[in-house]
Structure formats: C-alpha cells, structure tokens
Structure 1
Amino acid sequence: MVYIKPFNVEQWMDKYETKCTNNIAETCCDSVSLAELISLTSNSTTHSHSETPLILALSKKRLDYGHIRGSPTLLTNISTLYSTPSHHFPFSQILITPGAIAANFLVFYTLVNPSHHVICIHPTYQQLHTVPASLGASVSLWKLQRTETSWTADIDELKSLIVPGATKLLVLNNPNNPTGAILPLDVLMEIKVLAQKYDITVLSDEVYAPIFHSSPDPPPPSFLSLGYKNTIVTGSLSKAYSLAGIRIGWIASNNPDIIELLAQARDYNTISVSQLDDTVAAYALSPTVRRALVKRNIDLCERNLEILDTFIKKYPKHMNYVKPVSGTTAFVKFLNPRSGKVVDDVRFCESLIRDTGVLFVPGGHCFGVEEGEFKGYVRIGYACSTDSLRFGLMKVGAWIEGGGMDFV
C-alpha cells in the first residue's frame, strides 16, 4: 500500500468551511450560478433563462458517456487559450479531467517512478510535491525567497537542485498559491533552457491563470507557449472561472506522446467526465462568455485586493505581507503585538473561527514542510464577494482591537 501524507489544506477546509460564517480562505473567484453565468452575456429582456442556448442544450443532453476525452466543443474552446495568430494549438493534445486536482494526479501517476528525481516550486499546493514523494520519487523543493516587494525564484538555486540523468520532472505553479506571485517571462525562458539541456519534463499548474491584476509588467505566458516539447500544463474552471461546482479540468501538452500515455492511464479511473459539466464548461469557455467572466473576476480581485491591502496597512504591528500580483490568495504573516514574535498559525486560525466565525488557512500547517517553516503565516482568499470580504475583515479588525491576538 502506498503511504501518502495527510493533505493538510484540504482537511482543514473540509473541517471548517461549512461551519464558518465568513469564508475568506476559499481560493476560487466568487462562484456563479447558471443564471449568473448566462446573464454575463445574455439579454434577459429577450429570453427567459429557460430559453437560453445553455439551458436548452442541458435539457436535451443525452446522459451517456459522451466523448471520452472531452467534447469537441470544449476541447476547441480550451485550445484557443493556448493558440496564437501564427499557431493553432491542436485540441487532440488536450485531455479533460475531473478538475485540475485529478489532472495533476494523473500526470504524477503516469510519469513518476521511484528512480526519478522531481523538483517542485515551494511554497505551493501540497499535492504537487506530496504525490510524487508517495510514488517513491526523490523530491527537492525550489524555494521562493521573500523580499520586501516580491517572492522571487532563484535560477541558480534551481541549477543546484538538478541531478543530471535523474531529474525527470520540474513542477511549477504559475500564478502561485499561496503567495500570489508569478514567474515572469525571463525566468520561464531560463527554465526552458535548463529543461532542454537536461531533458526534464515541465509540469506547469496554471489554474489561477489568467487572473493577472496588480503588476505594471505584462503577464507571463503559459509555459506551453514557449515551444518546449516536453511541457505539460494543467488548468480548470474552478479558480479563475468561478465554476468549482462543475468538476472540469484539463491537461494540455506540446508532446502528443505524453497525452497518449496519460489517456491510457486515465482509462482506469475516469472514462469520461459528466456530460452536463462538459456542456456548462464549453459554454463558459466560449469566447464571448469567457471574456466577460474573466473581466468580472479580474475586476473583483483588483477591488478586493485594495480592501485587503488597506486592512493590512491599518495593523502594521500585527501583520505584514508581499502584495500579490495575480491569482486569488495572499500569504500574510501575523505577529503577536505583545512579543513581536510570529503567532502559532494553527492556534491563531482556530481562535479566530471560534471567536468570530471567520475562516483563514494556517500557512505553516498547510504549506510548510520543514519544522517551523512559514510559522505565523496564513493564507487569505480575497476573491470572495466584496461584501463577504469587507464584513469578514471588519470582524477580524474588531477581534484584534479587542485583544483577541494577545495570547495566540
């Protein structure tokens, strides 16, 4: 039996997210209903929701297995995410999965074995390094370094981690969860050079793209667009597109042989995704709807991040952070105002939800690997509804001012 460590962030969310009154730990852009999705582009004075193309398509959908790898419409709409005016990305090199979490797991299950060495960006979603380790691989963490203004990746450190002949997979997360940082184009190009030199497959988890919102610099491209053959990218409808309730993710690769290997393994645990989910996903990623949905969510993140930034600046003795430039999460360090030392992040979050009903994620517990790593950090998800964020932070502020942090 394979031993796998407890998935701390998912267990934390499972324990508390249905019990809290203000969930500002969630990482998805504020979720939409089918009616809201339709309203983004429909003229409600012309059609009732029951007469819209999406609802009609759902009502007439025959509930068989459908297209095993994903419907042509959905695959075509995803392919446009990676296409350029000079190159149309072939939809035959895309595979639909039940969310990005299944996409990542399928990649590891198919490609990683005990003789392999894997390098993973850090901090990141625990799955991305724990699953390869559970399969027997040796895993090294490429650690982002915090400065006053950014979380940065040191290419020289990456070079030092590579074991020629043994390093088979490099795992990226861009935009990054939990920091909201990005790997810019110049870093991505250096990664590509190293991957080509040492024949390393690159897996880039890009579930928070295209939520780029707070940097004056151009957003980084998908790693897929850099032209390196052994590239795998995963994405989903959950984070950037507000549709976590339809379990749709995908894998895209520049190497058709990789897609075929993944498809063979996928036969054992998926067959196909829900036909209703596929239909909604295809609609959401149609060009007009996708543009409206992404604009809604970038506007939401920009607005909400300013609210969070104002809140953090109000309490400089209690907290500090590097302001995110992408995605939906901020990684905030909390300090005990009496001692100036970092708080126990688990006890802090447990006290906060007990006293206020507000849910944060303890950063050390859910993202640290070494003892004491990221102690005092919490992950805040600021892409919930603006009212929820504002009300939740107001309760946290009142708790702080009432001495709630003094003994955590």
Structure 2
Amino acid sequence: MTQPFSYKLLAQDGAARLGEIATPRGVIRTPAFMPVGTTASVKAVFLDDVKAAGSDIILGNTYHLMLRPGAERIAKLGGLHSFMRWDGPILTDSGGFQVMSLAQLRKLTEKGVTFRSHIDGAMYELTPERSIEVQNLLGSDIQMQFDECTPFPATFDEAESSMRLSLRWAERSLAAFAQYGRPGRALFGIVQGSTFPELRRESAAKLTSMDFHGYSVGGLAVGEGQRAMFDTLDFTTPLLPTNKPRYLMGVGTPADIVGAVERGIDMFDCVMPTRSGRHGQAFTWAGKLNIKNAAHIEDLRPLDETSTCPASRDYSRAYIHHLFRSGEYLAPMILSWANIGFYQELMAAIRKSIAEGTFADVAARVRAVYPSTVEDDAGADAEAARSLKSK
C-alpha cells in the first residue's frame, strides 16, 4: 500500500485523453466511469458484478456515511474497503453537495456548515477539516476538498462569493489532508465559478497553484443544460494541468460523457445507471429501452445481444418485463447490473478508440442513438441533479 498516486497520459485523439491513474489499490483506466456506492453499496448490484463489468473504481458519499453508520464506526470495523468488500480504489466526495441539498436547517458560515440530519434530526457540523478527517477515517483512495456547490442559476456576485469561499476551504482541506492523509492517498481540488469564464479562470489558477493531486470541475449538471455545460468545459478544461487527472462531477448521460471526453475530461460518476435500472429503463447500444412497456411482454430477445454483460445478454426482455410487473426485487437488480455493464462497455470503447485515433466514430455512434436537444438537455440535467440529491 505504498505505491504513490500518479497519472500517466498514454495517448490523445484531439483533446480526448487515454490514461492511467496509479493508486496503491490498483490502476484506474481513463476515461473512467465510477459507479456510485453512496452508502457503501452500489444500489441493487453485487460488487462482484460491478467489478466484472469493468469498473476499476467506485464512489462513496461522505455525508451519508458520516451519518450512518458513522465514519468512526467504519474505521473501527476496518475501513470502507473491508466493510463493503471492495478491494479496488474508492473515491469519496466531500459531503458538501448533500449538505446543501438534503440537510435541514443548515447554516453556512466561513467555518463550515451546521445542519440537522435528514435521517434523525440530530445536529452536525461539517467543515473542511472534518470532511477530510471523515474521508480518511473511511480510508478512501481519492478524496475531494470541501466546497460549496454553487447553485444554478446564480448571479455573478453570488457565484463569485461562493467560488472564493470554496478556494479558502480548499486551502484548509489541503492543510487537513497533510494532517490526516496517508501515503498513496490523493486529494482533488474542485473548480467552481458557475458558467462565468472569468470566475472559472480565477478558481483554476488559484487551485492549480496549490498543487492538488487532481482537479474536478464542479457546479455543473445542476440544471444549466448540456450546451452551457459544454461551453463551460470548453474554457475550463484547458486551464487544468495536463499531467493530472480531470474529473467532471455528477455526469451523466452517454452523450454527456462523450462530449466531455472530447473536451479532455478523464473521470465521471453518476447515479443514472442504477437509478434508471430501478425504474425500468435500460441503456443499450441501440438506445434507451423502457422494459415496462407492454411491447416487451412476449419479446424473447435479450436487452442487447451485442453485450458482454450477462444481465444484458442472458435474460429475455419478456422475463424482465414480467419481473417488473410482478414487483420482484430481481427486476431492478438485473437492469441496474445491465446498465453498469453498458456504461463500462462505453468507457472501454472510448478508451480503445482514443488509442486507435477513431474516437470521433464512437462519439458519432453514441449520439446517433442518444440524441438530445437543448430543451431535452436542460430537463435531463435537472433530473440528474434531482437524482444526485436522492443518493
């Protein structure tokens, strides 16, 4: 467990980057999609199946785990990896987004945020120092600075104030990481500034001068729509170091992912694969499929005959449709598994195409079956934001 954290750029196709992130618990192939394991569980999917699908890393949530079962308890039980039976890398978010979106009676100050738990009403305080302490008690391999996720829409003044607060918290997060961190673990800074270029430039410049292990673009996929998100990435991603990983938080749809990869992003996470699976929606190479539709009642075809994932390849649409109609627990399990499989197949195809210089072909294939309009994008991003709040 002593191998240092590092990023290696292996190839580029335009701005799209093929790389590897080395961690003490294994290599993360990038571009990478991280299934969300909010409360030490990727909802409705066995972690053995998550790994077999090709996932190198998963995400855990600081806010939820500090409330239940508690960071100190998880540390006492051997840490998050042992607790949930996952031996690969884990990234934990800082908990800031959930505090702002889920907690009751919250109060934001320079020190941090005090809030009432949405679970039992108990009062808590989350500061940059406590967030980093919790993440280290959990034992995550990649940790995030504590920040304020700027809501959308925000005025310039609101976004500026929020961004500068996050910068001050970034400095305190680094100091706490120096105190609590262990060899091989990494801390990422989070670039904020809403959709304002000058604020993103200031945030990126000051964060890169602090020399984090990696950088995230935060405050997107919160309702601004795909076009605004891509425009923001166009002027933000080039400001980030080329020798460190770049992470777009909370994204997203297949079209979002290929568009962000085109703009130099390396890492993604979203609850969409498992959340959609629990509600009867499958992602396939032919597009989205609503398995609850009556058209599937006697359809013996698999979800996707081209898939290498057993969930997509080995169960008939008729059977999965029946399971949903019968209210069987197995229904969301199969579909969530299948969606994790599709997302990892998508990332594998993206990585292969970058190595071969054919990324544009994969991007075109994805857009052909996952088209979007500006109006649809805004609705999809708002839905993604709502789903993140439900983590």
* TM-score, structure 1 as length reference: 0.27
Higher helix share: 2
Q: Which has the higher contact order (CA 8 A, sep 6+)?
A: 1
* TM-score, structure 2 as length reference: 0.28
